[in-house]
Structure 1
């Protein structure tokens, strides 16, 4: 296979880095553990399936917490009438002033498109919802959903296409999530009080169990043992001197030109709700929205 110039440059770049706190695997049990409702887990080779019925949903959590890096998993969402259900995939720290990055896949009636809601919490404050449709049917096959996080930005990606960027604007007095290690979680649950058409369409339990399928679990990030003090976490996972992390490379401090074009296309064709444009909720536009508009 011929290796392009760009690829060879990337290989050279990675070869010169010292990767510390690195974790990467495609095996569920190496990285994750069931969080609740073990009897609603189904293991089929490399596949994991979570079931939701009128008794319970199910969820899992990473065994470790991380600060900066990239988290990915491949998910195939609930087929058919999934109204009222939510399949959530997110990173979160602990405590009342937690940080959190959310993917929430909102089910719908048969034939209607799934909506993907993203949200960013910083120091316990969220209310930064965006919703969009996808350019494919997420129930027919597996697709990759990723979160890239470094000191400059948080990027939500679908099949490596950026759908949202949350930029560090601390220079404008806006807090940025950079000092709390976060676990990785996923769950399926009933949210028919709000998930589908604002709660108008309820879950039809005659279609249960609702099944979300997973594979390809990958975490390439700075692992933070519990023994590391909170004020030392940032130092441990930041590039200093001889220590170089790939996520601190200048090329990852912002989107590439190609990625910027992709994001503009996604927003133009698939964005259906943006908190920044919701003047009823926010008569005064949140400060970060000025920068995040494309």
Structure 2
């Protein structure tokens, strides 16, 4: 309890100073506590340090992936990832949350591999009520293969904030009042996969995966989940939860976060579906409501 009081006090001070705060009460746990291997790829998922570190492996025999045991509706969903190093062109490392219906909701981080020495590109996307096509792409401002970095969704009833090391790189707002779909009612599992996307991932598919460099390995830590666990009874408790991510301070970006988001957009954004006139004759409605 003392730790919770301390973190809460720090957050109150941070918010008062306009520097914001993203508290987390989750502790480091082993992979098996919250996740399972998917796709029958046990031999391509390597657990290290008692499961506190996990590697996904891609080679010519198989891709690999894992999924959360439980489903969640709203929360702060995070993962520490060290991406595939060296010549990773054609590989896609995906970290995402998705529901399981035909008109599914989904929140995506997709890391697009590159030839050695090239910047890593991050693609984000949102599906709401089965409708996606909301891609944005940025270059990361650091080498994501040299060390672990934290990637997160801060998801509540007002907005989804995509974060890289606590820096917002994208915000998707709830515009249901304007008749637009938002991921507000479908619980999601958390996934990560490493697979061959060389038909599209690197320069639109121009650069193919070089299997002589296999195996390709992405490394993970931080398997705790700080989110509202959905009940199979269909409980609405997550929607009415008084958890920290639903508090008023996280319903909009504070001034520091707004400045950080503007910095990312101005310096590192290379594609925004909202400005793609070849795909859309008029900007999608949500683009005018940012």
Q: TM-score under structure 1 normalisation? A: 0.89
1:283 maps to 281
- Which among 160, 169, 179 is matched to residue 173 of structure 1? 179
Aligned to 1:66: 72
Output the aligned Cα RMSD.
1.8
Matching residue of 1:19: none
Matches within 5 A, 1:4-19: 7=10, 9=12
**Partner of residue 237, structure 1:** 238
Local SS of the residue matching 1:48:
strand
Aligned residues: 272
Shift of 1:282: 0.5
Equivalent in the alignment of 2:147? 141
Shift of 1:27: 1.8
How many angstroms does 1:290 deviate by?
1.1
| Paired residues of 1:238 and 1:245 also in contact (CA < 8 A) | no
1:224, 1:81 → 2: CA distance?
40
Tell me, in whole angstroms, the C-alpha distance in 2 between the residues paired with 1:23 and 1:236: 20
1:44 aligns with 2:45: no
Residue number in structure 1 paired with 2:93: 87
Name the structure 2 match of 1:115.
121
What is the CA distance between 1:195 and its match in structure 2?
0.4
- Equivalent of 2:258 in 257, 260, 264: 260
- Return 5+ residue gaps in structure 2 as ranges: 1-5, 15-24
Matched, 1:27 2:30: yes
Write the deviation string for residues 234-280 of structure 1: whole angstroms up to 9, x where unpaired.
x21123xxx62212210010111100100000000000000001000
1:96 aligns with 2:102: yes
Q: Which moved more, 1:202-211 or 1:43-52?
A: 43-52
Q: Distance in 2 between matches of 1:134 and 1:41?
A: 26
Is 1:250 aligned to residue 248 of structure 2?
Answer: yes
SS at structure 2 position matched to 1:145: strand
CA 1:174/1:253 → structure 2, altered by over 3 Å: closer, same or farther? same
Deviations 1:101-144 (A, max 9, x none): 00000001111111000000001110000000011000110000
Go from structure 1 to structure 2 and tell me whether the alpha carbon gap of 1:152 and 1:109 turns closer, same or farther (over 3 Å shift).
Answer: same
> Where does residue 186 of structure 1 map in the other structure?
192
Distance in 1 (alpha carbons) for counterparts of 2:243 and 2:221: 26
Is this contact kept in 2: 1:42–1:49, CA < 8 A? yes
Report the equivalent of 2:3.
none
For residue 9 of structure 1, report the CA deviation from its aligned partner: 2.6
Give the superposition deviation at 1:47: 1.2
TM-score, structure 2 as length reference: 0.90
Tell me by how many angstroms 1:95 deviates. 1.7
Structure 1 segments of 4+ aligned residues over 4 angstroms from their partners = 3-6, 22-25
Matches of 1:27 and 1:62, distance apart in 2: 12
